[in-house]
Structures are given as structure tokens and as C-alpha cells.
Structure 1
């Protein structure tokens, strides 16, 4: 890790959008799901719950866009990082070694955070940091290769991922989905009919791979299924998401006019969203928990639109002051992620101790608790910002 100040110039819109995604994550959903449970007949609270919790299987809301936003912005940052290293005379080979080291550190940090206080390491690779680490070097190798190589890589990855799922046998009529943790409402939501059954929870090719791969590591008990349906091989189509970010980053660093850059982001976002929706409606369901190619494209399209809006308002029009609270977080996204993973629970406990149990009781208690924890984490990032400490791998 380094505490050196980040090199200038930075893409201000990237810091702000990254900060928005990370702050949204830090809220833990603002407690809206718990509040919605107290108002079962309220369409308003049901709407907020949908967009602050993960989709059960098909589709997705605002909460599901946090990870693709973070991953796509990793790709956006690569051209800026490469340019910064070239300015100080670093060779490509040394930059590649740095990328390999960064990828390894991301995977190691993911394992550390997943393990927590367990008595032995928890070798799981579905964490967003692990997913980025597993695909990062591949995306790095696509930098400066031109859009034909990059689009070609996206097509190959999407086709190969889709083909692997389709070629894997469908579950037989006697399959007991309960053996794979698919019970209750999941039987209705996560077991798909006909051809779409290739993307069922627990019986798809990626789940089958993990029942082999994850049992190669020392475990307290044999791995059978991931309760959320997340799989290690999600990193392969997630490379699509990061490559879209890489392409966007190269455009933003390029010679186009500011208006041309914004229009490219809008057009690319529309193209990805249309292709994702079309695939989702025909041959490849949109399943965030499997990072299907249709999800990678559709979610990537939405994030590109968000980046276009932030770029136009902040970088082109120069309206930066409003984004300062987001920028503070975006410039220390790794610090916030780790702090949230380690200290969100203890911070909530501190709030109850010093502000009183009654403050966080009742129907809206989860909301106040979420705001308290998020506020404390923001203050931590602000403290780092004031001291010009920027933690990065």
C-alpha cells in the first residue's frame, strides 16, 4: 500500500462516481428492507426495498449496480495509471509486473476479508475484490490494443461463457435442488424453465466447477454450494465489464472533443444496454449472481450512462463543488471498502452504546443506524483526505 498523493491530473468525474457507488454500498441499503417488512402493503417501501437489496435471481435494481460500477471504473482507471507510470519512465514490463502484483493483493485481501475471525482461511473468490483481481491482468493486457482487439475480446468472452453454460447438461427430472440450497421461494425464483434451466442456481456449469475447484483448498467441510448462487467463474464475464471501462477510459483520455466524449459514452451505453436486454429476452437470462454476458452488457450500459452524466457535469461544465462529499470517498475507495467490511458492525454497536438503544429502535431504527455508520465511515475518509493519505493497492 502507498500513502503517496495521487498523481495529477485525475478524472474528477471518476472519483465522484466511484464515491457514489462506495457510499451507497456503505449504507447497507439504508435499512429499507427492514422498514418495508413493517409496511408490507406499501408500494413505496416495496420499491425502495427492491432497489436496496439484491435481486433474487433474474433482473436487478440499483443495489445490483454497485459492483458493476466499481468494476467498470477499475477499467476506466487503467489508461490513466499507465500514462502516469510512463511519465516517470517506467517500462511496460515493470507496469505489467505491478498489475500482476496488484491482482494478487486484491485476491489476498478478498480472502482475508471473507475469512474474518474464522479459525482457518476461507478460500472463496466471489468477493468483488477477488473478481477484480482474477480478471485484472487480462484487462491490463488489452490496454492500448485498439478497439478492435477490445471488442473482439468482449465477443469471445461473451460467446465462450454462454457456450459453457449451454453445453453443460440440464438438471434431470429427479434433481433435488434442496441439495444445492435452493429451498422455499428460491425454488420459484431461481429454477428456470426449459432452455433457461442452464442458468439455474446450484446446477449450472459454474456451480459444478466450484464443487471441484473450491474443494482443492483446505476446508472445514466440503464445499457444496454458495448460498447466494455466486461463483468463482463469474470473473470471466466480469472481464467484459472491466473492458468496457477500459474502452471508456481510453476515450476520455483521447483527442475527442468534450462533447464527443460524452456522446461516445451515451452511445456506447445505449448499445450495451440494448444488446444486454435483447440477449436477456432471447437466449441468455440477465442474472447478476452469475454475471451472465447479458447482465455484463446491460449493467455496463447503465454505468456508462452514469459516467457520461458525471463527466458532462463535472469535467465538461466544471460543476465540482457539489461532488466533494463523493470525491472524498472515491479517492479512498479501498480504504472505505475495508473499513466497512471490518467495522460496520462495531460502529453500529458504538452508536447504540453512546446514542442510546432507543435512538435505533422502532420501525425507522435501521435507517438511523445505517446513516450513523455511513457518516462515521465518511468522516474516516475525510480524515484521510485532509492528511492527503490515499490508500491504494
Structure 2
């Protein structure tokens, strides 16, 4: 088996490209201006997160990154061991990588802020918090990994299920809950309501110990620091999948069976009244559903690109996927600068070419193209940003 498989990079590159489409072109906001168009409403649903419970295409992008980090960890450790790295050196690298991801996530959240925004729910930060336990499990048996995956999910479920159900806020907007919020659960699922749950209560306690411009009262998206616990399980699923691909000559069957089982389990937990599917809280039902989908997607890419060798169509995505950190950081750090540059150099006539409703698309296309070209330039010169 080759040391680097095209399927991993293509899958990761497609996820990054879709994030760029959403964040730079603001397709969901454009779609909101076309409420009578079924096509635009389909685009709107799948280029934004569902309000609370459920799943869209955009919701699956972060789980894909987390899952693929577990997959790539298998090959990264194997490559370092082949170079002669000791367990101590591997551990030191894992610790430094975890710290780097944590603080990069905080840096991203602090862009355009008056001071450092201490929060631990950004994608990179969550991956940094989760990666050390998964690194330790990389040296354990499959049975130990499966048991750990289930244990972290059970722990997260217990934290929420045993926490008292909290009544609605007297002034929801003061706690970053949209006025007239229609997505609250009733009954047992009320343990997972927006900004009235165990994770929210933990963050109100934790994050107010850090210097802030104003007291922390809740994140508008409902994300919490405690999401890192089930994120560990999502990454373990990737670790298992990566090991199957590395060590098994026919891993697709295992990936498909496990993927279907994960989807059915996630739906069973939700409709069985045990745990809702809520990506914002990374609930156990969400881990099972999203993990199952990731397994199936990886199985398809692996069969098509690594087994059947049909990878030329995905060259651009492979290039992006080989430098994910560079693409991700440029998307966040250069977004405002690129938008200003487009307006400055292309002018109002270009930005308004398709009308005022489409100006975010006209601004976003050159920005996305610029980032892609930079990543391609880095690829040609073998420059890869790694932790």
C-alpha cells in the first residue's frame, strides 16, 4: 500500500472546498433572498447548519475533519516509527500538536476581537483537546478502542442526562438564545436544549474565569467545551477505519457495514427517545450518525480512488487536502482582507454585475480562487504547513 492514499486527501479537500463556498460566497444568505426558489432553498439548507436537531451537508464537514484526523493518525504514527522515532518522541510530537491546535483555534476565534477570546469550541481547538486520548489508543487493540469509544459517549450522555432540566430563560436574548426560539425539546430531550444544558452551565462557570470584554452567557450557536468528549469518539472511529485500510486488503466491506450500523444506531437513539441528534452539542446520537456517514463516504472514495485508481478528477481537491491547515487558516485570517481587495481592485461595477443580491458571490469567487491558487503554489514547491 502506498504511504499516502488519494482518498484521504480528496475527502478532506472536498470538505474544505465546501466550507470555502459557504463562508466566502455566503450562499445561504443569498438563498434567503430567494424564498420562492426550490433550488435556492435546497442550497440554503445544505450550506448552513440546521437550527438545532437534524443534519445537513454543512453539518457533516467538521465531523469529516475529526474523523479523517483519526484516519491520518494511523499513517502518521507508522511513518514516524519507520523513520526510527521512539515512543517518547511520538508522544512529544502529539503533545505539541495538541497544544498547537488548541491555540490556533483560539487565535482564529480572536480575529477582529478587542482581546483574546478564550473559548474552546472552535474546530481546531476541539481537535486539539481530543487528539491525545486518541493518540494513546493508537497503540491499543481494536477492542480497547471500541470500548473507549463507547465509554466516552456514555460519559457525555450521563453528564447531560443527570444534569437538571433548566427552565426557559426569563430574557432569552440575554443568554444568546434567539427570541422566539422554536426548537426546544420537551420531556427527557429537554436536557439538550439550547443554552440550558450541562455543557452550557459548565462553560458559564469555566469561561468566566478568563479575561473577557463582557461576561460569558452562552454561545449563539449553542456549542460547548464539553463537545470535545464525544469528539474523541468521532476521532476513534477514524482511527479504527484507518487501521482497517492500512492492515486489511479488503476494508471496504467493514467500512460499509460499520457505516450502516452507525447510521441506524444514531437514528435509533434519537427516535427511541434516548438521545437527540444535535450536532451543536455533539451528542452521542450525532457521533453515531455522522460517524456512519463518514465511514460510507471514505469507503466510496477508497474503492474509487485507491483500489480502482480513478483519482485524476479529484486533483484539485487532493492538492487542497494535502495542505488543510494552510487552506483553513487563510480562509479565516484573510477573509476580510480579500473582500476589501476585490472591492478595491475590481470595483463596484464588477461586484454588482449580477445585481445586489449576488454581490457576496461575486466577492467570494475571487477570494476562494486566490486561496486555492496559493495552496496550489505551495503544492508545486512542496511547502506543506503541518503541526
Give TM-score, length-normalised by structure 1: 0.94
CA contact (8 A) 1:177 1:202 kept: no
Map 1:181-220 to 2 at 5 A.
181-185=176-180, 187-189=181-183, 191-220=184-213
Task: Report the alpha carbon displacement of residue 371 of structure 1 after superposing the two structures with TM.
Answer: 2.1
CA contact (8 A) 1:171 1:203 kept: yes
Q: Does 2:83 align with 1:85?
A: no
Residue 327 to residue 116, structure 1, CA distance change in 2 (3 Å): same
| 1:163 counterpart (158, 165, 183) | 158
Task: Report the alpha carbon displacement of residue 27 of structure 1 after superposing the two structures with TM.
Answer: 1.6
Cross-structure match for 1:364: 358
Q: Does 2:20 align with 1:26?
A: yes
Partner-residue secondary structure (3-state), 2:238: helix
Cross-structure match for 2:260: 270
CA contact (8 A) 1:211 1:223 kept: yes
Cross-structure match for 1:226: 219
| 1:9 counterpart (3, 27, 38) | 3
* Structure 2 CA distance for aligned equivalents of residues 283 and 131 of structure 1: 25
Q: Does 2:126 align with 1:136?
A: no
CA contact (8 A) 1:27 1:373 kept: no
CA contact (8 A) 2:22 2:28 kept: no
Task: Report the alpha carbon displacement of residue 329 of structure 1 after superposing the two structures with TM.
Answer: 0.4
Cross-structure match for 2:314: 323
Partner-residue secondary structure (3-state), 1:195: helix
Task: Report the alpha carbon displacement of residue 194 of structure 1 after superposing the two structures with TM.
Answer: 1.4
Task: Report the alpha carbon displacement of residue 320 of structure 1 after superposing the two structures with TM.
Answer: 1.6
CA contact (8 A) 1:340 1:377 kept: yes
Map 1:1-393 to 2 at 5 A.
9-28=3-22, 30-172=25-167, 176-185=171-180, 187-189=181-183, 191-254=184-247, 256-257=248-249, 260-281=250-271, 282-361=273-352, 362=355, 363-393=357-387
CA contact (8 A) 1:135 1:238 kept: yes
Provide the aligned length of Structure 1 versus Structure 2: 381
* Structure 1 CA distance for aligned equivalents of residues 335 and 115 of structure 2: 22
Partner-residue secondary structure (3-state), 1:219: coil
* Structure 2 CA distance for aligned equivalents of residues 317 and 354 of structure 1: 45
CA contact (8 A) 2:172 2:179 kept: no
Task: Report the alpha carbon displacement of residue 285 of structure 1 after superposing the two structures with TM.
Answer: 0.7
Residue 211 to residue 333, structure 1, CA distance change in 2 (3 Å): same
Task: Report the alpha carbon displacement of residue 366 of structure 1 after superposing the two structures with TM.
Answer: 2.3
| RMSD over aligned Cα atoms | 1.5
Q: Which of 22-31 and 330-339 deviates more?
A: 22-31
CA contact (8 A) 2:168 2:196 kept: no
Where does structure 1 differ by over 4 angstroms across 4 or more consecutive aligned residues?
A: 173-176
CA contact (8 A) 1:265 1:305 kept: yes
* Structure 1 CA distance for aligned equivalents of residues 99 and 32 of structure 2: 41
Task: Report the alpha carbon displacement of residue 31 of structure 1 after superposing the two structures with TM.
Answer: 3.0
Q: Which of 147-156 and 29-38 deviates more?
A: 29-38
CA contact (8 A) 1:28 1:370 kept: no
Task: Report the alpha carbon displacement of residue 178 of structure 1 after superposing the two structures with TM.
Answer: 3.7
Task: Report the alpha carbon displacement of residue 319 of structure 1 after superposing the two structures with TM.
Answer: 1.1
* Structure 2 CA distance for aligned equivalents of residues 241 and 183 of structure 1: 29
Task: Report the alpha carbon displacement of residue 173 of structure 1 after superposing the two structures with TM.
Answer: 6.7
CA contact (8 A) 1:71 1:132 kept: yes
- 1:305-364: CA deviations, max 9, x gaps? 111111111100011211110011001000011101111221122222222223222233
Partner-residue secondary structure (3-state), 2:53: coil
